[in-house]
Copies of this chain bind each other. A is one copy, B any other.
Amino acid sequence: MSQNPNTIASNETRRSQILDAAINVLLKKGFSSSSMNDFIRASGLSKGGVYHHFKSKEDLLMGVVNRYFEEYLAEVTAIDLSNETAYLQLKYFLTGHQDLLLKMGNLSQLLMDFYAQAAYIPRLRDQFRTQYVTFQRYIADIVKIGIDNGEFVNTTTPNAIASGLIGVFDGISAGVLIAPDDIDFPNFAVEAAMAMVDGICI
Residues of A within 8 A of B (CB): 29-30, 32-33, 109, 112-113, 115-120, 125, 128-129, 132-133, 136, 156-157, 159-161, 163-175, 177-179, 182-184, 187-189, 191-201
Contact = CB atoms under 8 A, between A and B. Distances in A.
A199 B188 contact: no
B192 A165 contact: yes
A132 B180 CA distance: 11
Nearest to A180: B129
A184 B167 contact: no
A161 B119 contact: no
Q: Among the interface residues A132, A172, A195, which one has the most CB atoms of the partner chain B within 10 A?
A: A195
Given A115-B174, A132-B182, 19 more contacts: A30-B116, A30-B117, A112-B115, A112-B174, A119-B177, A125-B177, A128-B178, A132-B175, A163-B175, A164-B172, A164-B189, A164-B191, A164-B193, A166-B175, A167-B175, A170-B174, A194-B199, A195-B196, A195-B199
Given A32-B32, A33-B32, A112-B116, A167 B189 contact: yes
B118 A116 contact: no
A23 to B, nearest CB: 15
Nearest to A46: B1
Q: Which 7 A-B pairs have the closest CB atoms?
A: A164-B192, A167-B171, A171-B171, A199-B199, A32-B32, A198-B199, A116-B116
Binding site secondary structure of chain A: helix
Nearest to A185: B163
A115 B116 contact: yes
Contacts of A116: 30, 112-113, 115-117
A174 B78 CA distance: 26
Q: Among the interface residues A30, A33, A191, which one has the most CB atoms of the partner chain B within 10 A?
A: A191
